Structure 1
Amino acid sequence: MRSPGLFSDIGKKAKDLLTKDYTCDREVTLSTVTASGVCLTSTAVKKGGLYSLDISSMYQHKNALICFKVDAESNVSTTFNVLGVLPSTKLAISVKLPDCNASKISTAFIISEALPYRKLVVSVKLPDDPLKLKLQYFHENATFATVVRMKPSPMVEFSATVGTEGVAFGAECRYDAARGKFRNYRAAIGMTSKYYHAALIMADKGDTIKVYGLYHFDKKQVVSAVVELTRKLSKKENTLTVGGLYTVDAQTTVKARLNDSGSLAALLRLQVKPKSHLMISGEFDMKSLDKPPKIGLALALVP
């Protein structure tokens, strides 16, 4: 079944091309799989002058999935996922140590296709953390989603999208039950095809207008160009960001972005072997070339 997608999907491809994977951190990720099927992953990250390290493992047995993670601050978190407890149901239980004290145990129930076109997510953290309910409805020409949060104050978020495969109209708002008011209105129009993705988003009660445009120069999307224009009506301010992506071959991808404040960012992604890649990113201030650039490095090795 095809649908116009969720409200958050409008303009997402253009935003991802401008923001995804750009980082000025140093990160190394190593993954391996043992003969018994246990997946081990170790990640080391340097942000500024601080280092962080975590080790995680994942093991799946029949319909049960166990995830275990330890970080440099001796925090231990464990998540149990069980599929097929009931038809179309997933049960997830997570515990974080050492500060759980029987109050940091969270449980989530995910029920998909319980009814035609529906996906229901129920999440509760006991005993003093917020209750969160999520409901998504997908149809051929409409999508509806709502999220209910009980703490710190009751809040209900609504979003709806109507349209066809190529055109979508959407709206989103938040209702503050404590104050009895609707807040954070947003509306959007999105158009998509094999060659382009365009979106117009109005936020802040119409005071902020964002326009996204993504164009692919060929069917295989080897070369793409993207633009983001933001207009703040009350302040009469404009912000412009342009970017592009070029896929040299199956192993090499290059992309860059530039905004009107003179910030230039570039990213080189190299596939060193199947499932393993190296990403080198840099950010430069074109108006202050005497400042040293910010350089990021990410290496992921998977057997």
Structure 2
Amino acid sequence: MSVPIAIPVPLKFNVPPAFSDIGKTTNDLLSKDFPVGAAKLEVNTVTTNGVKFTVLGAKDNKTGAIASELKAKHIDKARGITFTESWTSSNILGTQLELDNTLARGLKVDIAASLLPAKGTKNLKAGVEYKQDHLFTRTSVDLFRGPTLHGDAVVANDGFLAGGEVAYDVSDARVTKYNLAFGYLGREYSVALHATNALSTFAASYFHRVNADVEAGAKATWVKSLDNTVHVEVGTKYFLDNDASLKAKVDNRGLLGLGYTQILRRGVKLSLGGLFDTTRFHENVHKLGLALTLEA
């Protein structure tokens, strides 16, 4: 007798972002496509039966150290099952199993494990994610660190977001982390406020899609334990055409970042980046880098 298989139904309701994704558009604008200080290579291939292979490599321009990782991801969209295996140049073996909308609509189960054979170091983390209209919650337990319970939740209404995050060490019976975030998501712009590190670090950010060719954003951060200085960073992205874009960012410490991304052909993307200290132009403190991504 055959057993019927439940086919996941795509979510159609208005789900808010995860707690870690509040302010993501600003963070991406100020950090992505600036491959400074290293030469990076990423190769992605997909087989006909849905297995995705990924090879990642990065060479540090200063030390010459090379780090790499090999991943194999098995995706079964019909059942909502994803199984990932990984092996790094540090000899860390990893596996991850994801069940998305398989057990219930809006429910995702994630189990991830890693092992370092040389030292016998192992890690096992299990998590549950639940999405619903105006709500996004996640709970996970790190079994070999504490164990530690971690949870976060975000509620939303009419574009306004409010979220919180907490971590609890079971063995020590104490809260090890708690953060808060608030934000607003609009069609053309978004803003976010964060209070992290036990409410000792405060950040405010905004992102604005000015038009089809220009994006702009800024972020201000104040660490309570240091001084009264606020770190401010502003950036912009300009789309030259469908295949090329320019990025620039600068902060109040005099660091200037420049990035250029070009799609050379379908499946081939090249990114060039530089970070320059404008207060010390004649010193060897500047950083350059590149990233090449291949997909087939």
Q: One fold, TM greater than 0.5?
A: yes
SS at match of 2:122: coil
Q: 1:140 aligns with which of 127, 130, 133?
A: 133
Q: In the alignment, what sits opposite 1:62?
A: none
Q: Hey, what's the Cα distance between the residues in 2 that align with 1:98 and 1:28?
A: 17
Give 1:197 shift: 1.2
Equivalent pairs: percent with the same residue?
A: 24
TM-aligned CA distance change 1:144 to 1:99, over 3 Å: closer
Corresponding position: 1:224 with 2:215: yes
Give 1:215 shift: 1.0
Q: 2:60 aligns with which of 19, 44, 47?
A: 47
SS at match of 1:205: coil
Where does 1:113-192 land on structure 2 (aligned, <5 Å)? 113=101, 114-124=103-113, 129-164=122-157, 166-192=159-185
Q: Deviations over 1:54-112 (max 9, x none)?
A: 6x8xxxxxxxxxxxx4xxxxxxxx7473638x944444556789979xxx6x5543222
* Structure 1: stretches of 5+ with no match in the other structure: 57-68, 70-77
Q: Hey, what's the Cα distance between the residues in 2 that align with 1:230 and 1:120?
A: 34
Q: 1:280 aligns with which of 266, 269, 272?
A: 272
Q: Which amino acid aligns with 2:146?
A: S
Q: In the alignment, what sits opposite 1:74?
A: none
Report if the CA contact (8 A) 1:4-1:167 is conserved.
Answer: no
TM-aligned CA distance change 1:252 to 1:174, over 3 Å: same
TM-aligned CA distance change 1:256 to 1:176, over 3 Å: same
Q: In the alignment, what sits opposite 2:98?
A: 110
The two structures have a TM-score, normalised by structure 2, of 0.80
Q: In the alignment, what sits opposite 1:72?
A: none
Where does 1:291-302 land on structure 2 (aligned, <5 Å)? 291-292=283-284, 293-302=286-295
Q: Hey, what's the Cα distance between the residues in 2 that align with 1:45 and 1:95?
A: 15
Report if the CA contact (8 A) 2:222-2:228 is conserved.
Answer: yes
SS at match of 2:141: strand
Report if the CA contact (8 A) 2:17-2:154 is conserved.
Answer: yes
Q: CA RMSD in A?
A: 3.3
Give 1:296 shift: 1.3
Corresponding position: 1:257 with 2:249: yes
Report if the CA contact (8 A) 2:179-2:197 is conserved.
Answer: yes
Q: Hey, what's the Cα distance between the residues in 2 that align with 1:179 and 1:40?
A: 40
Where does 1:200-239 land on structure 2 (aligned, <5 Å)? 200-218=193-211, 220=212, 222-234=213-225, 235-239=227-231
* Structure 2: stretches of 5+ with no match in the other structure: 1-12
The two structures have a TM-score, normalised by structure 1, of 0.78
Q: In the alignment, what sits opposite 1:60?
A: none
Give 1:171 shift: 0.3
